[in-house]
Amino acid sequence: MTRPDPLALWEQTSRDLLAVLRDLTDDDWAKPALPGWSVRDVLAHRAHLESEAAGMPQPEGGRVDIAVEGTGPMTSDITEAGVVARRGRSVAELLDELETACVRRREVLADLDISDLKAPAPGLVGVLGWDTGTRLRNRPIDLWVHEQDIRVATGRPVTTTGVGAQHVAGLMTRVFPTTLRRLPAGTAVVACITGPQGRVLAARVGEDGRAAPFDPSEGSDVTLEMDDVTRLRLTEGRITPDEAQVQVTGDEGIVAIVLGRLNVTP
């Protein structure tokens, strides 16, 4: 696949999520999707953030005061406020809000200047200190990850064939060397991933304590083998290393450290 335009990627991942949401049954909405959140709450969360991106008014209590310096994460109090403020809305109303927000967001972003990705992002995430590049990079991650949360919660298979999965897998590939931080110099790890987002990841720690890619044919201290669903669910923090189906070879201590650090989703 060629790398999509960032705005097209945001649009496509939102369409993919909406397609799953429209396919849900009445019984699906109350199923647990995340700790403290049902499938319906995940819908409310996405309606919140997409409507924020579209510049739409928020319900009473749907915003919290933000005071941060520099780049900050999307904190739980921000996301929880958006969900709680929508608890009185029906599923139909939430779906309508999300669909409307996606259309308006598309219109709002149509003329967005993406020539300078370091420019401050507009809206809520700009207040958090995000630049335009971070905003365009993170929103498709959030959409794809929550689509998979809903799929798992409702007994549907995780999908790794679309542009959302490609985007997440590509970003996680670039940060793979950070899972080796502070390991002894010379430590080498290879991860063999199968599936539509399959690839071979290889990183080795240098004398400066930082890891960098290397030729896996040179051999490694640890080899991990897993499918792309396992790898992506680990990077999302949706499964623990103990729950993951991973074949390992080599130093068990290094294995435990690396698997425990794979959760790098912002």
Contact 185, 54 (CB under 8 A): no
**Helix and strand element counts for the chain (H, E):** 9, 7
Q: What does the DSSP 8-state code read for residue 186?
A: T
Q: What are the tokens at 227?
A: 């499918």
Residue 28: per-residue pLDDT: 98
Contact 152, 145 (CB under 8 A): no
Distance CA 117, CA 133 (A): 4
Residue 1: per-residue pLDDT: 43
Q: What does the DSSP 8-state code read for residue 57?
A: P
What's the N-to-C CA distance of the chain in angstroms? 24
Residue 150: per-residue pLDDT: 98
Residue 204 in this model has a pLDDT that exceeds 80:
yes
E strands, the chain, in order = 32-34, 37-38, 188-194, 199-205, 211-213, 222-227, 247-250
Residue 35 in this model has a pLDDT that exceeds 90:
yes
Strand order in 247-250's β-sheet? Answer: 211-213, 199-205, 188-194, 222-227, 247-250
Quick: pLDDT tens for 227-247: 999 999 999 999 999 999 999
Residue 72: per-residue pLDDT: 55
Residue 70 in this model has a pLDDT that exceeds 60:
no
Residue 4 in this model has a pLDDT that exceeds 80:
no
Question: Taking residues 120-138, what's their average pLDDT?
Answer: 87
Residue 182 identity (one-letter amino acid): R
User: Over the chain, what is the mean pLDDT?
Assistant: 91
Contact 157, 151 (CB under 8 A): yes
Distance CA 139, CA 13 (A): 9
Q: What are the tokens at 64?
A: 């919290």
Residue 116: per-residue pLDDT: 87
Distance CA 143, CA 98 (A): 12
Residue 108 in this model has a pLDDT that exceeds 50:
yes
68 pLDDT band, cuts 50/70/90, is low
